[in-house]
Amino acid sequence: MESLIEDVFIYINEAIRCAMEDPAATLLVLMLLILVLITPGRKAADRVLMALVICYIYLILTSNVLARSAFDERKFSFELFSSARREMVENILLFTPLGMLMCAIDLKTKPITPWKNEKLYLFVRFLISMTFAILFTCVIEGLQFHLLVGVFTVDDIFCNTMGALCGYCFIFVIVLIVKKLRSQKDNTQKVQSDGQQ
C-alpha cells in the first residue's frame, strides 16, 4: 500500500515538474479551466467537476507522456494480462478517479434536449463516460508509442478502462443508496404528516 501511495506522489511531482518546464501547455490548461468555469448553463458543481476532469487529464498526460525519457525504439505488447499484478493494480487505481468524476458530472444541461426516459439517460451517460475513458487511455498509449516514451500495451488499456468502470460504478451505487434513503425519509415524513391530519 505504501508503494502505491509513493507512486501517486511520484505522478504528482512529475506533473508539477513538467508544468513548470512547459508554461505554454500549463497556460493552455488554465485558459481551458477558466472557460469551463465561466460557461453559462451549467450548475456550479458540474463546472467544478469538469475543471477537475481537465486537471486530472493534464496530470495523467504529463506524468505518463511528457515526464518520461525516450527509448531507443518503439515497444509494444498485445498480450493481455502479461504485466505484473502490482502494475495492473496501479493502472486500475490510476483511472478510478476519472470514472468517479465522469459519473458525478450531470449531462442534463440547458443546451441538451431534456431526457424524458431516466434509464435511457443513465445508459447514454454511462456509454459516453466509458467511451471517453477508452479513447483517453488509447491516446496515452498511442502517444507513448509514437514519442518512444513508453510501451504500448493492451494490458494498460484494459486496466485503465476497468479502473474507470470501477470508479463510475462506485459513485453510481452511492448515488442510488442516497436517493433510496431520501425517498424513504420523504415517505416517512409524508405518512407522519398524513397521520397528524
Instruction: Show pLDDT as tens, one digit a residue, over the chain (197 residues).
Output: 566 667 667 766 766 666 666 666 666 666 666 766 666 666 777 777 888 888 888 888 877 777 677 777 777 777 877 778 888 888 898 899 899 988 888 755 444 455 567 788 888 889 989 999 999 999 988 888 888 887 888 888 999 999 999 999 999 999 888 888 888 887 777 767 766 66
Residue 155 located in a structural domain: yes
Amino acid letter at 96?
T
Residue 119 located in a structural domain: yes
Residue 86 located in a structural domain: yes
Q: Which domain holds residue 64?
A: 2-187
Residue 56 located in a structural domain: yes
Count the domains in the chain.
1
C-alpha cell at 148: 518512444
> In the 8-state DSSP scheme, what is residue 107?
-
Amino acid letter at 160?
N
Of the CA atoms within 13 Å of residue 98, those in its CB half-sphere come to 30
Predicted TM-score (pTM) of this structure: 0.76
Using CB atoms within 10 A of its CB, is residue 185 exposed (0-12), middle (13-18) or buried (19+)? exposed
Residue 193 located in a structural domain: no
